[in-house]
Chain A
Amino acid sequence: MNFPILSSLILLPTIGALFILFTKSSSGKYQSAKYVALFISLANFLLSLYLWYIFDKNSIDFQFVENREWLSGFINYKVGIDGISILFIILTAFITPICIISVNATITNRLKDFLIAILIMETFMIGVFCSLDLVVFYLFFEAGLIPMFLIIGIWGGDRRVYSAFKFFLYTLLGSVLMLVAIISIYWITGTTDVERLYELGIQSEYQNLLWLAFFSSFAVKTPMWPVHTWLPDAHVEAPTAGSVLLAAILLKMAGYGFIRFSLGLFPIASENFTMLVYILSLIAIIYTSLVALMQEDMKKLIAYSSVAHMGFVTLGIFTMTQQGIEGSIFQMISHGLVSAALFLSVGVVYDRHHTRLINKYGGLVSIMPRYAIVFMVFTLGALGLPGTTGFIGEFLILMGAFEKNILVAMIASLGVILGAAYMLWLFKRVVFGEITNQDLNRMKDLKSFEIVILTVLAIPILFFGFYPEPLMNSIEASVENALNMYNFDLINNLASKD
């Protein structure tokens, strides 16, 4: 047993949160708390980069596995990563410090509690992506509700209570069925260890129901149409850092869950329900894009665009092709960066002007030129312009879709056009045009810390847009292995039927 690097990644933020608990503030500005939080989250990010460095990209096995006896000996605390999860861990560790820097401007009351909530949240999020046991996964998956509920409820906007309740109850309702499924799996196979379950397989007669139970949880979390309605509310009311965490990481838990559990554990059911996922994804892509076009609130528009983008992700996953799944993972990482950046950009103008209504803005380019440039980069990233990460993800997903079902792929391609429409129109209305609202003239251009976080986000969006190789390398072997197992299971099942 080597150094338990994954457990350290999981626990470090919690330890940091405990430290913050004991920091004192003389002036009520909580400088020391901020520095502790930033330091801890940066340390965690460096640790995750180190993890990426020592991660064996060609291995198809789970790496850095830790297995400890935990629940009366029959359920173990087991963590480990492969190519599918490593990028999400880095993304989480990358986004958290950005959130912590961004609270500089947005959060004024109870800053200390806020930092603690964010760090605890990071623990749970990394835990989700590491866990190799269904019960441990469920534990992390659900535990994240508590800090997020508080983040939305305490530091949110006017309708924060409604949104926080909606977020909590929707997600909980979806998840309890997953708990039933997890316990059922335990009694069917005698284990909840994911690796063992991959080997054992689950009998085909149980798969459909179990798949649906998992789907109910992931569909709410993704979110897929028609259970997406909590997302716009939660996004709009959450403070900027909360929206960033929600969009960048929480939504990815479900996409990750689809690949790891739905595909991995229930291949036969996944094949049966492919059409269902296609239809729901297409509705999400087309319908929510149209809804996004009509939004008057910037955050709401981006929230709906998230639903559309996640529609691409689910579509790509269920093409069951190498390109589709790799594209989905890439799209999730890309969306994590881009949506985080967009929410931060909205946060920048909101802090200055205290409204998110699009028609209150216009002509920002002449007042805030630097802001206009970074905002443009992110807009183009969101609509998937070649040269940004958004393009590669969508392109690969559509490639996978064309291989499987041309009609589905063609309809999904319409979504790309709609995506360009609502993003460009948003950009045009906010940044270009006449300055109709004279109050805007008082707005100042980006402060230094805003430049830092927005540039830090823009760099990977452009870099990996031109050179996706490092990311692709990490996921390739694992996705290939997952697909091989998937096809192997399907063939076995067909053979047993004959």
Chain B
Amino acid sequence: MENFQYILPEVFISITIMLFLLIGVFKKSSSNLIYNLSTISLIILLALIINLSSLDKIYLFNSSYLIDNLSNYMKIILVGSGVFVMLTGSKYIQVINLNKIEYPILILSSILGMMIMISSNDLIVFYMGLELQSLALYVLASFNRDNLLSTESGLKYFVLSALSSGLLLYGCSLTYGFSESTNFDQILINSTEFNYGTTFGIVFILVGLAFKISAVPFHMWAPDVYQGSPTSVTLFFAILPKIAALSVFIKFLYTPFANMNDQWQTIIVFISIASMIFGAVAAIGQKNLKRLIAYSSISHMGYALAGLATISNQGIQSSITYISIYLVMNLAFFSCLFMLKRNDKYYENIEDLSGLSKKHPILSFSLLIVLFSLAGIPPLAGFFAKFYVFLAVIEQSMYFLAIVGLLATVVAAFYYLRIIKIIYFDPEKDEYETSHNLGLKITLAISTIFILAYFIYPSSITEIVSKITMI
């Protein structure tokens, strides 16, 4: 039991989940209570993880579980954004009648699964975490049972995700078969020589992971699921699984498969380029904001993966920086989306933003900042995210990737500009409600100020991230 202190966060959250389930069963109409308690428990969880963050590298449970700088940082941003997701969505789920006890509990279990994924150092532990988070997400996607789109998105996500899990599992078994171990470090030691079995294993595992991160060509589920799910779940989808999947990506590529980098580098470069271009082009014709942000996130994942393709610490760090800034931009964007409410109905089409700037100057200004930042225009945070990635990419002389990526930003700029045009240049429509809950306002304020003022002290994230070294 001497290792207990290191997995305290995971133990804490598991016990919390069970406890909340019991409360939910035995106490009538306790959904609000559990929602608030979950938010608080996430904050405590965050504190527990930060408490451990001074640890450098600790192997647990027969080295199948690893706590290091990477896992600590990723867990911090994971749980941190989880807190904000809870804060922003609280009003929303009440308004559209989703405030059931299962909702926060599913979110917590999904976060637990992601934490296990992030810390795993073994194929079996990894798969366990992955399935825990996926199962919770299937239910969350279809949580709005009376809504046709929501049900459809849940089913779609379930079928496609099960397929990808199958591929992933097949890849794992191939890898195990040819490297005689499920432990990441052991796989690395045993796979010094090239063999087709492990190569196929890599391909299948990468396909499964690319599905989770919604990278092209495994992105088909994303637009439908983003659009169909309740907006608070979409926000969850847009951020947390991406963080978990990206850190697993880093882990797989740079621990068990580090010797095979000539095998996977082309795959990652291809996925990255395809995602950047497809995400940019496909978003142009979208009318629904959630669908648009799905394509936008596909393209953003392309940039995050571009950093991973470099096989350098700088590249890994740039990817992590990218996802950190990406999650803030998404939080800000969805906070704005939650504010488009009138008579207990939420609006999510681009046309609904028409002329927003006349009646809601502050909300429009936040959207303006977020959209320009998503487009990567300096001096906003989104520019620095891309800057770090391209800094790493060009260091490795991967000019093709850099130029394609930057040209894709120009294409992507078009659809962000289109939204800004609708907000600022078009004639105005009806007013939206202006009273919002405090959590939403705070989230929007913090994230917008972060994006706007990032350039004053741009080393803030890089300094923390620079501790993460994989090579």
Residue positions of A touching B, CB distance < 8 A: 70-73, 113, 135, 138-139, 142-143, 145-146, 149-150, 153-154, 160-161, 164-165, 168-169, 172-173, 176-177, 179-180, 183-184, 186-187
Contacts and interface: CB of A to CB of B under 8 A. Distances in A.
Interface in B358-416: 361, 372, 377-379, 383, 387, 390-391, 394-395, 399, 402-403, 406-407, 409-410, 413-414
Interface string B60-99: 0000000000000000000000000000000000000000
Given A139-B379, A168-B413, A176-B407, A71 B425 contact: no
Given A168-B417, A180-B390, A173 B395 contact: no
Q: Main secondary structure on chain A at its contact with chain B?
A: helix
B459 interface: yes
Given A71-B458, A72-B462, A165-B417, A184 B394 contact: yes
Interface pairs A-B: 9 shortest CB-CB: A176-B406, A139-B378, A183-B394, A72-B459, A72-B462, A142-B378, A173-B410, A153-B425, A71-B458
A172 B424 contact: no
B424 A150 contact: yes
A143 B421 contact: no
A126 B104 CA distance: 51
Contacts of B424: 150, 153-154
B2 interface: no
A183 B391 contact: yes
A180 B462 CA distance: 21
A142 B394 contact: no
A217 to B, nearest CB: 12
Contacts of A72: 458-459, 462-463, 466
Contacts, number: 81
Q: How large is the interface on B (under 10, 10 to 19, 20 to 34, 35 or more residues)?
A: 20 to 34
A152 B279 CA distance: 28
B455 interface: yes
A180 B424 CA distance: 31
A183 B387 CA distance: 9
Given A72-B463, A139-B455, A169-B413, A180 B425 contact: no
Q: Main secondary structure on chain B at its contact with chain A?
A: helix
B418 to A, nearest CB: 8
A70 B378 CA distance: 15
B360 to A, nearest CB: 13
Contact of A143 (B361, B378, B407, B462): B378
B378 A180 contact: no
B446 to A, nearest CB: 19
Contacts of B372: 146
Contact of B403 (A142, A165, A168, A177): A177
A168 B379 CA distance: 15
Given A139-B378, A142-B377, A180-B406, 4 more contacts: A70-B459, A72-B458, A139-B379, A187-B394
B399 A180 contact: yes
Nearest to A173: B410
B390 A179 contact: yes
Contacts of A165: 414, 417, 421
B421 A180 contact: no
Contacts of A176: 406-407, 409-410
Contacts of B463: 72
A149 B417 contact: yes
A135 B458 CA distance: 13
Given A172-B410, A180-B406, A145 B395 contact: no
Contact of B377 (A70, A146, A161): A146
A164 B421 contact: yes
Contact of A154 (B361, B390, B403, B425): B425
Contact of A186 (B361, B391, B406): B391
A428 B361 CA distance: 46
Most central of B378, B391, B399 by chain A CB within 10 Å = B378
Contact of B458 (A70, A154, A164, A186): A70
B309 to A, nearest CB: 16
Nearest to A178: B406
Contact of B402 (A73, A172, A180): A180
